[in-house]
Amino acid sequence: MTTVLIGIIGLIGFLFLLFLGMPVAISMLTVGVFGSMFLVRTPKAAFSILSDSFLTNFTSYTSAVAPMFMLMGDLAGESGLGSDLFSAAQKLIGHKRGGLASAVQAVCALFGAICGAAAATAAMMGRVAYPEMKKHGYRDDLSTACIASGSSLSILIPPSLPLITYGIATEESIGQLFMAGIIVGVVLMLLFILTISIWAHFDKSIADVTEKATFQEKWQAVRKGGFIELVLVFLLAMGGLFAGWFTPTEAGAVGIGGMLLVCILFKRFSLKVLIKALENTVVMTGMIYLLLAGSTAYGRFFTLSRIPQTLGAWVAGLDVSPFFVIVCITILYLILGCVIDALPLMLLTTPIFYPIVTDLGYSGLWFGAFIVVVISMGSVTPPVGMSCYIVSGVCKDVPLQTIFKGAWPFVAAFVVMCILLALFPQIATWLPSVVA
């Protein structure tokens, strides 16, 4: 039996376990370990992959950014500041149908500009934004899907962990990759907002509207929720990060300190709030780390099966136009992105496809931004839509199927973004060329 055939059997087994209702992390761990056992022939080596998957993710300094920013978000949520923030947003743009969902996209982009982790963004926004949208009459499919999709902006807008991984693997300038990600991320955010507007226009049942508030009411809502102070906390963490004062994980710690200070200033801090925020962070961190460990084990099984390498060799051997090769690579990323998380997929495929694409004359900066968009689409598509699973874990009363159903309009926005990047690569390359 060939390694590729074992890999295909492992994929079928993984889908079968999901169909039986087994949690996605346990399904990935099971297939990753036992599939690797068939490939490496020794149980000891297979279980070494299991232990490495846990150790790599649980002891990673980079992974620590997730609990940092989740605690920051939980403090905002448990203290009521997050609720007041979205109440202010309701006063500002609530008179527009779908206005709060559009505000979520902007907040996700802002939060992504600090943490660079979709998991942390999805968890934080799920805890803060979903209750407010539900309270204001937003339908579950829109409210949860807009959070899951908006969180993908975190892996485009710097600091982006997939772009850092890509830069390390290809020796492209990480600074220029960050600049490419800024424009692409902003355009994708605007496409998400346009998607919400179109959806709300044709389906009035997805969201309620309120009366337009007066200027005085808007200002009072902004001041009550500490909007200005919260923005300053974001700017401090983000500005210090880009100035090189601290790393993303340290930025998270600064954000926690700033959030605690705002809570104290607005008399929202108590020991009960702190304990509840810590409990929520521990639970969500455990869930996310288990998903990351499962994804790592499953990704290593795929590497051993040589399926990514076989697919890459097949694409390289096609006697077709360069554009068609890009289309084939995109399709392969879409397929693989449905079963492998962003970082493992980037590590698996970049050494294979980067030489092919650059030999065809395409910019390495453009390809980095392009494949991150394609991979981020996989975070909201079944069977392994990581952001959808995280939002489902936070919004426990919403079925996972509802979130996936609501995500399809946003998948259309991803497709439009891919087409725009293919037709106008300057979207990704213009800013790096100007600043360079």
Which of 420, 421, 385, 425 shows the shortest CA–CA distance to 401?
385
- Tens digit of each residue's pLDDT (9 = 90 or more) over 323-353: 888 888 888 888 777 666 666 677 667 777 8
Average pLDDT over residues 366-382: 87
If pLDDT is split at 50, 70 and 90, which confidence band does 210 have?
A: low
* Digit-coded pLDDT (tens) for 115-146: 566 777 787 788 778 887 888 788 989 999 99
The predicted-structure confidence for 43-69, as pLDDT tens digits, reads as follows 777 777 777 777 766 766 666 766 877
pTM value surpassing 0.85: no
Q: Comparing 395 with 249, which gets the higher pLDDT?
A: 395
What's residue 144's pLDDT?
Answer: 92
- Of 59 and 187, the one with more pLDDT: 187
Let me know if 310 is exposed, middle or buried by CB neighbors in 10 A (0-12, 13-18, 19+). Answer: middle
Averaged pLDDT, 369-390: 83
- Contacts (Cβ under 8 Å, ≥6 apart) of 7: 35, 301, 302, 304, 305, 306, 307
Q: Which residues of 251-269 are buried (b: 16+ CB within 10 A; e: fewer)?
A: bbbbbbebbbebbeebebb
Q: Compute and round to an integer the Cα radius of gyration of the chain.
A: 22
Candidates 70, 138, 72, 75; CA nearest to 104 is: 138
185's tokens: 């991320």
Over the chain, what is the mean pLDDT? 79
For residue 108, what is the enclosing H or E element? helix 99-115
Is pLDDT at 95 greater than 70 in this prediction?
A: no
Give the SS3 label for residue 263: helix
Who contacts 361 (Cβ-Cβ below 8 Å, separation ≥6)?
Answer: 322
Separation of alpha carbons 43 and 178, rounded Å: 42
Choose among 241, 289, 292, 11: nearest CA to 115.
241
